[in-house]
Amino acid sequence: MDKMQDKSLSVVIPSYCPKEDLFNCLESVHNQSITRPYEVIVVDSSPQDPTSAIHDRFPDVCVIHLKQRTLSGKARSTGAVHASGDIVFFTDIDCIVDHDWMERLLEGHVRGYKVVGGSVVNGTPQSYVGTAEYLIEFNEVNPWAPLKDVRALPSCNLSVQREIFDSIGYFPDFLKGEDTLFCENIILSGEKILFDPAARITHMNRTLFIKYVKNQIALGEGAVEARRRAALHGNFLVSHPYLLPIVPMWRTFMIGKRFLISHWRLVLSYLKHYPLLFIGLWAHVWGFVRGPYRSGLSTEKRLMKGAAK
């Protein structure tokens, strides 16, 4: 890791109306095993400025409070613009990062990758709804998935070398799927993305049924918007929506296949929670159908690449 020793590091966390979850996240970020200094930036757009509450417990955290409600993509981009680090790490307020999270991601950068991400652990294993959301949303990045090059990763567990922002720009600013588009731009630029399951975070999933369904609808809206902007896998569904009824069956097969490859415990959990996953799969389709007719998916076109600090 010698050639990474002179690289400065930053961690960016988008925030909106945080509660104790933000402090739990910050605690885990501050308890990293890495011995090098790193800055932590929280980008918040809550109606009430949380700066003083954060500084009471974490005085070294840089808080950027935005006056208008800001979606996660723009918040991450704002944090990256203000970050001084040569490598920027991203996570979310509903996540707890492992103590060696930064070290594990840095190992991927040592191997020559400019973008590295890790796995997501179920933080609500006792909740039927929470586990269903985890299985449907993070099945591709479960902790037993193999280390490999991938096309996309969730931004709740991601590290990016600054030169990537200089070359392709920042995260697009819309409701769901901004990380998918960001990663797609990276791939199109000729760079590779590494998934390392050893770099783990624990995600606190939604445990209320109505919130689970609403989130799947929102993810469907984001999925169609992303496919309207880029030639992503499945973009033919945008112009052929009559094929959407096959999507739940296809996703059922693919999720099951991933779990078969990963770990037998995931297969058992998948079967146990499938009734709720089935509802989520159809909620996602409904979001895909109504996405093009919804307003408010974005607050602005995007933060222009090369924005000045």
Q: pLDDT per residue over 42-67, tens digit each?
A: 999 999 999 999 999 999 999 999 98
Instruction: Check residue 292 and give its pLDDT.
Output: 62
H/E segment holding residue 210: helix 209-229
Within this chain, do residues 103 and 177 fall inside the same structural domain, yes or no?
A: yes
- What lies within 8 Å, CB to CB, of 214 at 6+ separation is none
Neighbours of 201 (CB within 10 A): 26
Instruction: Check residue 1 and give its pLDDT.
Output: 53
Q: What is the rounded average pLDDT of the residues 246-275? A: 96
Q: Which domain holds residue 218?
A: 210-293
Pick from 160, 184, 209: which residue ends a domain? 209
Query: Per the structure, how many domains does the chain have?
Result: 2
Within this chain, do residues 240 and 99 fall inside the same structural domain, yes or no?
A: no
In a domain, 222, yes or no: yes
CB 65 within 8 A of CB 14: no
In a domain, 300, yes or no: no
Instruction: Check residue 2 and give its pLDDT.
Output: 56
In a domain, 133, yes or no: yes
Within this chain, do residues 170 and 249 fall inside the same structural domain, yes or no?
A: no
In a domain, 137, yes or no: yes
Within this chain, do residues 168 and 271 fall inside the same structural domain, yes or no?
A: no
Distance, CA of 279 to CA of 281 (rounded, Å): 5
Within this chain, do residues 235 and 139 fall inside the same structural domain, yes or no?
A: no
Pick from 184, 209, 234: which residue ends a domain? 209
Q: Which residues pair with 196 in a beta bridge?
A: 118
Within this chain, do residues 102 and 182 fall inside the same structural domain, yes or no?
A: yes
**Cα–Cα distances in Å, from 134 out to 130, 158, 270, 289?**
6, 18, 10, 23
Within this chain, do residues 271 and 143 fall inside the same structural domain, yes or no?
A: no
What CATH number is given to the structural domain containing 7?
3.90.550.10
- The token duo for 52 is 């003083």
Within this chain, do residues 151 and 289 fall inside the same structural domain, yes or no?
A: no
Within this chain, do residues 82 and 217 fall inside the same structural domain, yes or no?
A: no
In a domain, 302, yes or no: no
Instruction: Check residue 174 and give its pLDDT.
Output: 72
Greater confidence (6 vs 203) lies with 203
Confidence of residue 139 (pLDDT cuts 50, 70, 90): very high
In a domain, 303, yes or no: no
Distance, CA of 242 to CA of 263 (rounded, Å): 35
In a domain, 305, yes or no: no
Pick from 181, 209, 237: which residue ends a domain? 209
Q: What is the rounded average pLDDT of the residues 240-248? A: 87
Within this chain, do residues 8 and 144 fall inside the same structural domain, yes or no?
A: yes
> 3-class secondary structure for the chain?
CHHHCCCCEEEEEEECCCCHHHHHHHHHHHCCCCCCCCEEEEEECCCCCCHHHHHHHCCCCEEEECCCCCCHHHHHHHHHHHCCCCEEEECCCCEEECCCHHHHHHHHHHCCCCEEEEEEEECCCCCHHHHHHHHHHCHHHCCCCCCEEECCCCCCCEEEEHHHHHHHCCCECCCCCHHHHHHHHHHHCCCCEEEEEEEEEEECCCCCHHHHHHHHHHHHHHHHHHHHHCCCCCCHHHHCHHHHHHHHHHHHHHHHHHHHHHCHHHHHHHHHHHHHHHHHHHHHHHHHHHHHHCCCCCCCCECCCCCCC
Within this chain, do residues 52 and 164 fall inside the same structural domain, yes or no?
A: yes
Confidence of residue 285 (pLDDT cuts 50, 70, 90): very high
In a domain, 298, yes or no: no
Q: What is the rounded average pLDDT of the residues 194-216? A: 97
- The token duo for 282 is 């159809």
Confidence of residue 103 (pLDDT cuts 50, 70, 90): very high
Distance, CA of 166 to CA of 179 (rounded, Å): 17
Q: What is the rounded average pLDDT of the residues 125-140? A: 97
Instruction: Check residue 294 and give its pLDDT.
Output: 59
Confidence of residue 293 (pLDDT cuts 50, 70, 90): low
Within this chain, do residues 61 and 198 fall inside the same structural domain, yes or no?
A: yes
Which residue, among 145, 175, 173, 158, has the nearest Cα to 259 in the 3D structure? 145
